[in-house]
């Protein structure tokens, strides 16, 4: 199921991915790891991390960010508001390489463009809700030129077509679970707007309400598009 021979993605579960880049960098997208009920036990330990990318501030995307960042001291790619919140929790320099929509940041050869996501982004902090800036998706270009679109948590939106026009990627990571994000029917429209030929589904199955399934999306998009049928722990 490899989508590139030099870049390896491991699905920890839900929206969380561990990535080994073409040059051997370790990347974690949306750090919900030790407390992620979908994560296989052997993936609940992160020993080394070069880059942490955070799409937005909901607990199922940042709950383990502070602990992992303090232990592994990665560069952190997020909007400033999330960086400042992480600093308030003791993660030094968390906003130092923050970005925002439309910007491309080169994290040691891995170029990350922050793009729109249609979602919300409050951070639950005890009994308060802290403003977490805007939710994002990422277009990630690895050292070998391989490029993917990771949509984060989102509904389908018309400017997915614009994102595909401005970047060249063949693979999209799309949420399909429904309830908090788009379901397979709306994800099929996203596939059409993006024009991608390979879809890696995510944000499904963690809880019963996240009911969308890869085979439903596969049926909707037809045989011209490959929807990977994955489970937590799989490598693509």
Window of 25-33, 145-153, 184-192, 207-215 that interacts with Ni ion by CB under 5 A: 145-153
Which is nearer to Ni ion, 58 or 75 (by Cβ)?
A: 58
Window of 50-58, 77-85, 100-108, 208-216 that interacts with Ni ion by CB under 5 A: 50-58
Place of tokens 């952190």: 76
Q: How many CB atoms lie within 10 A of CB 89?
A: 13
Name the binder of 141 from Mn ion, Ni ion, none, CB < 5-8 A by kind: none
Burial 20-35 (b: 16+ CB within 10 A, else e): bbbeebbbbbbbbbee
Among 153, 169, 183, 217, the residue binding Mn ion under the rule CB under 5 A is 153
Window of 75-83, 86-94, 153-161, 225-233 that interacts with Ni ion by CB under 5 A: 153-161
Is the dihedral angle over the CA atoms 55, 71, 17, 42 positive or is it negative?
A: negative
Does 118 sit near Mn ion (CB under 5 A)? Answer: no
Does 153 sit near Ni ion (CB under 5 A)? Answer: yes
CA 25/CA 50 separation, integer angstroms: 6
Window of 37-45, 56-64, 65-73, 100-108 that interacts with Ni ion by CB under 5 A: 56-64
Least distance (Å) between residue 72 CB and Ni ion: 24
CA 16/CA 28 separation, integer angstroms: 7
Show the tokens assigned to 196. 């991608």
Least distance (Å) between residue 159 CB and Mn ion: 20
CA 49/CA 66 separation, integer angstroms: 13
Site for Mn ion in 11-70 (CB under 5 A): 60
Q: Which residues bind Mn ion (CB under 5 A)?
A: 60, 153
């Amino acid at each position: 199921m490899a989508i590139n021979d030099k870049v390896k993605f491991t699905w920890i579960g839900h929206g969380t991915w561990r990535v080994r880049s073409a040059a051997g960098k370790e990347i974690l997208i949306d750090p919900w790891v030790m407390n992620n009920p979908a994560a296989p036990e052997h993936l609940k330990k992160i020993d080394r991390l070069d880059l942490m990318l955070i799409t937005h501030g909901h607990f199922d995307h940042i709950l383990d960010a502070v602990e992992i960042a303090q232990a592994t001291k990665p560069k952190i790619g997020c909007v400033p508001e999330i960086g400042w919140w992480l600093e308030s929790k003791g993660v030094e320099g968390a906003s130092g390489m923050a970005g925002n929509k439309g910007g491309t940041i080169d994290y040691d050869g891995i170029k990350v463009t922050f793009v729109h996501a249609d979602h919300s982004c409050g951070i639950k902090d005890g009994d308060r809700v802290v403003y977490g800036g805007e939710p994002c998706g990422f277009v990630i270009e690895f050292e070998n030129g391989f490029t993917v679109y990771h949509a984060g948590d989102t509904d389908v939106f018309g400017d997915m077509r614009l994102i595909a026009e401005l970047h060249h990627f063949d693979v999209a990571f799309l949420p399909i679970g429904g309830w908090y994000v788009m379901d397979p029917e709306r994800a099929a429209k996203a596939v059409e707007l993006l024009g991608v030929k390979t879809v890696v589904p995510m944000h499904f199955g963690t809880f019963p309400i996240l009911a969308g399934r890869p085979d439903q999306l596969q049926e909707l998009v037809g045989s011209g598009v490959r929807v990977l049928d994955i489970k937590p722990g799989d490598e693509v």
